[in-house]
């Protein structure tokens, strides 16, 4: 079975995402990392800017999907991959580039905190 998106992060696992994210109806806005429920579950829950509390409470609006597929939809997700369980983030794009904020503190996450996949890391021999 071939996939139609690249493997940005080897072995990234599966996440839950709303149908609005996967269909492209809404843009990725909210990212919450919960404890894993299964071995393949990386804990990320990805929601769109259109998702209301009522929408989110309906299990039929959630889909288990490969985290790499979500990264193909929104590449900024690559950077949050290894953030700890309990992370509650929001993606903001007001026309000056994408920013990620910690929801609780309201502080922007510095780019230096973002995950870089192994294949894109500078070698220590350079």
HSE value, Cβ hemisphere, 13 Å, CA-based, for 15: 27
- What token pair was written down for 29? 């806005």
Q: According to the model, what pLDDT value does residue 123 have?
A: 61
Q: According to the model, what pLDDT value does residue 126 have?
A: 44
Please check whether residue 46 is in contact with residue 77, taking contact to mean a CB–CB distance below 8 angstroms: yes
Its pTM stands at: 0.90
For 76-117, write each residue's pLDDT tens digit.
999 999 999 999 999 999 888 899 999 999 999 999 999 998
Please check whether residue 28 is in contact with residue 74, taking contact to mean a CB–CB distance below 8 angstroms: yes
What is the residue-wise DSSP string for 93-105?
ESSS-EEEEETTT
For 22-39, write each residue's pLDDT tens digit.
999 999 999 999 999 898
- Taking the domains of the chain in order of start, what are their residue ranges? 14-109
């Amino acid at each position: 079975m071939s996939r139609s998106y690249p493997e940005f992060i080897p072995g990234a696992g599966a996440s839950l995402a709303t149908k609005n994210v996967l269909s492209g109806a809404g843009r990725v806005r909210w990212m919450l990392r919960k404890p894993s429920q299964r071995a393949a579950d990386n804990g990320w829950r990805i929601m769109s800017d259109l998702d209301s509390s009522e929408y989110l409470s309906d299990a039929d609006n959630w889909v288990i999907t490969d985290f790499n597929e979500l990264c193909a939809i929104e590449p900024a997700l690559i950077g949050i991959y290894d953030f700890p369980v309990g992370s509650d983030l929001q993606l903001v794009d007001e026309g000056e580039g994408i920013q990620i904020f910690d929801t609780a503190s309201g502080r922007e996450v510095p780019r230096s905190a973002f995950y870089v996949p192994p294949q894109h890391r500078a070698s220590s021999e350079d």
